[in-house]
Amino acid sequence: MAGVDLGTEEVLLRVPKDIALVPLGFAIDSGGSVTKLLYRSKEDYENGIRIAKVGHDDGILRLRHLATEDCDEIVKFLQDHCDMLETAKTESEGWFLTGLKARLFRKKMEDTMKIKVKNLSEMVAISSGLKGFYSAALLPELRPLSLSEEAVKHALGSTRDFLRMMNSAAAAQTGGDGFFDELRDRIDPVAVGQYVMKLMSTDALTLTRELSDDVIEWPCLNVICGSAAGMIVMKDSGGFEIGSFLPIAGRTFVGFGRLLCGAKDFAELVEMAARGDSRKVDVMASDMKVTGVTAEEADWYSSLPDSLVAYSMGKLAENAASESFSKDDLAAGLLNVICCAIAKMAVAVARQTKVKCVVFDGSLVNSALVRCTLQKWLLFDSLIQPLIGEQSLKWIFLPYPGFICAFGTWYQNWEMYKGQAEK
């Protein structure tokens, strides 16, 4: 599957040449702290005509992150670098911008650049991004990312441990064949047996390929992981319904990261989490188990896989001595808490709204480490569900996830321009 991480550097995106020719030449999604800019560069175009050849005749758009607070600098950047056609200044209806801080740019652009702009709902931008850029086969490079093999391996190992422990516990208590015997009273025993055999015999790489999917199924739950986590049911018709809202995501991660870990920003905090070991601050199921007890003495956590977190950051309550863990370990534990919260809520909302496909986007999941940590929680749930008669959910992670609103805004401007041109 295609797709790469987008860091702080500018990225060139290959697109069909007609979609690159929106006269305005840029689309802006101005978030609370970061502005996502999609634009046609003067390095690649002059008055809408390609001047740079890179082995193909398709269009080229560029993706860039900028600080929202630098409104004047962003406008100047566009004036200096964006190939904006003269017709952009004379459109009667105005061009779309989106984002929490879009109004900051509106007057500045109208006064400085002499263009007419208007705000586009983020919900409309997301819908247009999914159905336009990602789903309408306009951009082959924007196929969903493969799931993390590390996450699949972790979830597979936990699921196998869970099955073994549940089977042993149930057999000891009932004198029968164990957990699988109970399952056969509730669901198709052949299906259960085949599924268990598959889990016990399939390697992580093969399972990663099987679980990774290119196709968005409608309706889907769109989980927007930014400063917070919004969960919206997107319909094939283009409509949407609010599924839920979780105020625990990127801002929470960075806020506690600054306070507890001394990280100056998101990038530094992720680097710290990558070096850290969350097991030094989390209480794991393996930490709670006592060996040599009878079935009557065994507690509920005896059936949990050793690799499962029992109490997030729980070791801080037992021993807050700084020498027992590092700030990197704290960062890793904090990331685990955030990803657990998002994953658990996403699973619950998906079940409640009866969707089969969950799509993740937003700037938070631009990080490979965040995606991997999130997928560890999601995939364990997914692998367990068929054992209790539920269908596994499909997890889709989009490339360039922070740009979905910018993509949708560009697509809306393109459709508006096409409609005017056809009149």
Q: Give the range with max mean pLDDT: 31-45, 130-144, 181-195.
A: 31-45
- Position 1 confidence tier, pLDDT thresholds 50, 70, 90: very low
Q: Is the predicted pLDDT of residue 48 greater than 50, yes or no?
A: yes
pLDDT at 3: 34
pTM score, two decimals? 0.87
pLDDT at 2: 33
pLDDT at 245: 95
Q: CA 35, CA 31: separation in Å to the nearest integer?
A: 5
Q: DSSP assignment of 202-270, as one string?
A: --HHHHHHHH---PPPSSEEEEEESSSEEEEEE-TTS-EEEEEEES-SHHHHHHHIIIII--SSHHHHH
pLDDT at 4: 34
Q: Is the predicted pLDDT of residue 150 greater than 90, yes or no?
A: yes
State what percent of residues in the chain have pLDDT above 70. Answer: 84
State what percent of residues in the chain have pLDDT above 90. Answer: 46
pLDDT digits (tens, 9 = 90+) for 159-188: 888 887 766 655 555 555 555 555 555 566
Q: Are 367 and 332 in contact (CB under 8 A)?
A: no
- Position 345 confidence tier, pLDDT thresholds 50, 70, 90: very high
What mean pLDDT, rounded, does the chain reach? 85
pLDDT at 187: 60
Structure-model confidence comparison of residues 105 and 348, the more confident one: 348
Structure-model confidence comparison of residues 179 and 80, the more confident one: 80
